Structure 1
Amino acid sequence: MLQKIFQKLENPKRPLLGPNVKALQFWGLLLPKNKFMKRFYIFMHFAVTVFTATECIDVWFVKSDMNLLLNNLKITMLATMSVIKVMTFLFWQKSWISIIEYVTRADLNQRNTTDPKKLELLKTFTQYCRKITFMYWSLMYTTVIIMIVLPLYKYFSSETYRENVKNGTDSYIPVVSSWVPFDKSTMVGYLAASIYQSYAAIYGGGWITSFDGNSMVIMVFFRAELEFLRIDAMDIFGTESEQVDQEVALKRLKECHSRHVELVKYARIFDSCLSPIMLLYMFVCSVMLCVTAYQINIETSAMQRLLNAEYLVFGVAQLFIYCWHSNDVLYASADLMCGPYESIWWTKSVVYRKDLFLLVEQFNKEVVFSAGPFTKLTVATFINILKGAYSYYTLLSQSQMK
């Protein structure tokens, strides 16, 4: 069953980004050309954006209850981050489309190779992209399902809770804390609010999975392309036993140079689209991780602790995957310079060596992704964010003990 679903997500024209592009199209981040469908998706985006605004308004009404306030803040910050992701994706739609087309074009060119080493690497990278995409989708929607099911589970599993709700000593647990212009303490009002909240949670989850999944796979592509460039640079002059003539060597050298120029160009475009998002995301994740850890510590309900723990895992995984793959790209970029020196350059004349030196200088350009103008996305940055979140958690815990 799952295998058939996964097969339908594949696209022979986009062997690497097939499922990711389909997700972007399904959730409306890549707007269709059809005017009706385009307006439909814009309306859907607007509806979730309005819902996010109601979450912010609700902060005022729950400010007296620390637990409700913290729960609202962590959800609202993540929702606001999702809205910003989508708005920037729509605003920079042309840049994102150019990046996707470049990735597809370069990937298809690599798949025309007959080199068994490169074919094996292509298979490995493609399988890896599918794993992180589907695992990330699963993690996201596990979180969404728990958020939606938890209120129903508590209502039907706890007779005491039902009685408390009926006599007014307790209130309905919302799917997501948000303000509505009607009384949500009644069954009808609560159901109406829950339907809107569930819709926003599901659609917001689609935003996150499609945007993040696409970005992560593109990062994997840049690492793969850098590794392929290193392999091709090693083979510029052929092997000691089978050397190529001057014309072929010069052609290979030019191809390596032009491919790296294009890679650097699109890596910078990708970074310009992603960098502002990651700067905000680092701040949001620091607060979100701190708040979630604190809630796990003070929560008495086992079900609520489970939800908070799953939410914490999702928050850590989101940030870690970005930092990990950016870190991979950085190291692949640094190792790329070894490629020309691993060729049989010592058998060639000074003229060849000068051309090879120009290629080395081109390969010396660092490819890495950043979070604004302040820091690079690396594993070291991820560890620093965890340290910062733990510091905030300690401060929050101590302030509540006084």
Structure 2
Amino acid sequence: MGNKILKNLQDPDHPSLGPTLYGLQLWGMWQPKRGISSFICNLVHICAIIFVLSQYIELWIIRSDLESALRNLSVTMLSSVCVVKAGTFVLWQKHWRSVFDYVSNLEKNELSKNDTVSCKTIREYIAYSRKVTFIYWCLVTATVFSVILAPLASFISLPIDEQMPNNSSKAYPEIMSSWVPFDKTHGVGYLAMILEQTVICFYGGGIVANYDSNAVVIMSFFSGQLKLLKLNCERTFEDNGVDSGEFTNRIAQCHEHHSNLIKYSKIFNSLLSPVMFLYVIICSLMICASAIQLTMSGISRMQQIRIAEYLLALIAQLFLYCWHSNEVSLMSLSVDGGVYASSWWSQNTSVKRNVLLLIGKVRRNIIFTAGPFTSLSIHTFVAVLKGSYSYYTLLSNREK
């Protein structure tokens, strides 16, 4: 069923980016046409920013209550990342467009050649990215519903006498902690707050699901194209009846292919790196805060399930970036193996010189970063988990 849904979202003009571009446009980040719809989408993004500011105001108000502050902090930090993702995507629309155009045009050109190896390689990484996109969308959807339904589950789990309206405000749990200029504990004010926060949850979930899946699809594209480049380098000297001029032309095509991959990977990294720098820092704090909430006494079983699912989503989100970035880096380091595996030794001196230049060119590593301080890799993922555990241990010891 998932594959059928994603298949319906395919776009022949964007072989691998079809579903993600649809999602980005639906949530108002990808705005190919300016007009009233673009204005409304940007207005929604501004409202989301105002809501995040209200979360920080509420955090300041409840700072003396550790449990409430941690619950607020774990959600507020993620909300901050959501509005940053949406805001930077809209502001840097021109650069995102250049990356999208390059990805789609290259794939269409390769597929139009009907080369067996090229078509197979492209279809493989497209199929893989479709599966990752669907699974990740399901994970985000489950997280959103768990956050929204958590207050209802907590309310139902309370004893009957505590569910009475004249009891304390604890009988009316909220989805997330945010400040509003009216009484949000009972009646119409509570219903208005729940409605507002429900809409914000769907907004934030859509932003995260589409932005992250789009980034993963593009990373899969770079990894797949590097694999294709390696295969093309290996096949450069396959035809014995071709003269040296044709071989030189094939070497030049491999050289150009790699140069364009380097160019647009830099553009993509410049768009992704600032956001991931913020996320890596915040992720450590969110994982730590969620772990502390799980071990605090007095929380219900439903709250523990919600926090555990939220924690799983955080870790999966970071792992998604680090794993695929690591795959691109490893694949970029293996491209020169395709040149060595070719029959370069059977060519004349002039062609061998060009082969030597190609080897030096394709040895360049492609790696995506999280700001100027660290790269997105499995090592970084493990380091973040270790750092979060260290913060958790420190705070736990201070409480004791």
Partner of 1:298: 296
1:32–1:267 Cα change, 3 Å: closer
In 1: Cα distance, 2:121 partner to 2:236 partner: 19
Partner of 1:102: 102
1:253–1:272 Cα change, 3 Å: same
Partner of 1:256: 254
In 2: Cα distance, 1:349 partner to 1:35 partner: 60
In 2: Cα distance, 1:394 partner to 1:381 partner: 20
Deviations 1:130-166 (A, max 9, x none): 1111111111111111111121233345343643653
Partner of 1:131: 131
* Preserved contact between residue 237 and residue 243 of structure 1 (Cα < 8 Å): no
Deviations 1:177-220 (A, max 9, x none): 10001001112111101111111111011111111110111001
Please give the secondary structure, in 2, of the residue aligned with 1:16. coil
Deviations 1:8-35 (A, max 9, x none): 2111221111100101111111124241
Partner of 1:246: 244
In 2: Cα distance, 1:161 partner to 1:86 partner: 44
* Preserved contact between residue 161 and residue 170 of structure 1 (Cα < 8 Å): no
In 2: Cα distance, 1:376 partner to 1:3 partner: 32
Partner of 2:380: 381
In the TM superposition, residue 109 of structure 1 has moved relative to its aligned partner by: 2.2
C-alpha RMSD of the superposition:
1.6
Moved more, 116-125 or 221-230: 116-125
Is 1:279 aligned to residue 277 of structure 2? Answer: yes
In 2: Cα distance, 1:161 partner to 1:71 partner: 25
* Preserved contact between residue 125 and residue 220 of structure 2 (Cα < 8 Å): yes
Partner of 2:74: 74
In 2: Cα distance, 1:140 partner to 1:274 partner: 20
Please give the secondary structure, in 2, of the residue aligned with 1:126. helix
In 1: Cα distance, 2:313 partner to 2:241 partner: 52
Is 1:16 aligned to residue 16 of structure 2? Answer: yes
In the TM superposition, residue 384 of structure 1 has moved relative to its aligned partner by: 0.8
Structure 2: any 5+ residue segments left out of the alignment? none
In 1: Cα distance, 2:338 partner to 2:291 partner: 45
- What code does the residue aligned with 2:270 have? S
Please give the secondary structure, in 2, of the residue aligned with 1:389. helix
* Preserved contact between residue 336 and residue 363 of structure 1 (Cα < 8 Å): yes
* Preserved contact between residue 230 and residue 336 of structure 1 (Cα < 8 Å): yes
Deviations 1:355-401 (A, max 9, x none): 11111111122111011111111101111111000000111111112
- What code does the residue aligned with 2:62 have? V
* Preserved contact between residue 59 and residue 69 of structure 1 (Cα < 8 Å): yes
In 2: Cα distance, 1:92 partner to 1:161 partner: 54
- What code does the residue aligned with 1:221 have? F
* Preserved contact between residue 183 and residue 189 of structure 1 (Cα < 8 Å): yes
Moved more, 293-302 or 340-349: 293-302
Is 1:268 aligned to residue 266 of structure 2? Answer: yes
Quick one: percent identity of the two aligned structures? 39
In the TM superposition, residue 110 of structure 1 has moved relative to its aligned partner by: 2.4
Q: Which portions of structure 1, spanning 4 or more consecutive aligned residues, are displaced by more than 4 angstroms?
A: 1-4
In the TM superposition, residue 292 of structure 1 has moved relative to its aligned partner by: 0.7
* Preserved contact between residue 77 and residue 284 of structure 1 (Cα < 8 Å): yes
* Preserved contact between residue 72 and residue 177 of structure 1 (Cα < 8 Å): yes
1:304–1:157 Cα change, 3 Å: closer
In 1: Cα distance, 2:280 partner to 2:168 partner: 40
* Preserved contact between residue 2 and residue 134 of structure 2 (Cα < 8 Å): no
In the TM superposition, residue 273 of structure 1 has moved relative to its aligned partner by: 0.8
TM-score by length of 1: 0.95
- What code does the residue aligned with 1:150 have? A
In 2: Cα distance, 1:366 partner to 1:92 partner: 25
* Preserved contact between residue 163 and residue 171 of structure 2 (Cα < 8 Å): no
In 2: Cα distance, 1:134 partner to 1:201 partner: 19
1:2–1:327 Cα change, 3 Å: closer
- What code does the residue aligned with 1:384 have? A
1:349–1:161 Cα change, 3 Å: farther
In the TM superposition, residue 2 of structure 1 has moved relative to its aligned partner by: 4.9
Q: Count residues with an aligned counterpart.
A: 399
In 2: Cα distance, 1:369 partner to 1:169 partner: 47
The equivalences for 1:46-125 within 5 A come to: 46-125=46-125
Is 1:225 aligned to residue 229 of structure 2? Answer: no
1:91–1:108 Cα change, 3 Å: same
Deviations 1:210-255 (A, max 9, x none): 111101110010000101001111111215xx45222321221111
Moved more, 79-88 or 315-324: 79-88
Structure 1: any 5+ residue segments left out of the alignment? none
Please give the secondary structure, in 1, of the residue aligned with 2:99. helix
Partner of 2:390: 391
In 1: Cα distance, 2:318 partner to 2:242 partner: 46
Moved more, 23-32 or 107-116: 107-116
- What code does the residue aligned with 1:95 have? H
In 1: Cα distance, 2:211 partner to 2:130 partner: 15
Partner of 2:207: 207
TM-score by length of 2: 0.96
Partner of 1:143: 143
* Preserved contact between residue 164 and residue 170 of structure 1 (Cα < 8 Å): no
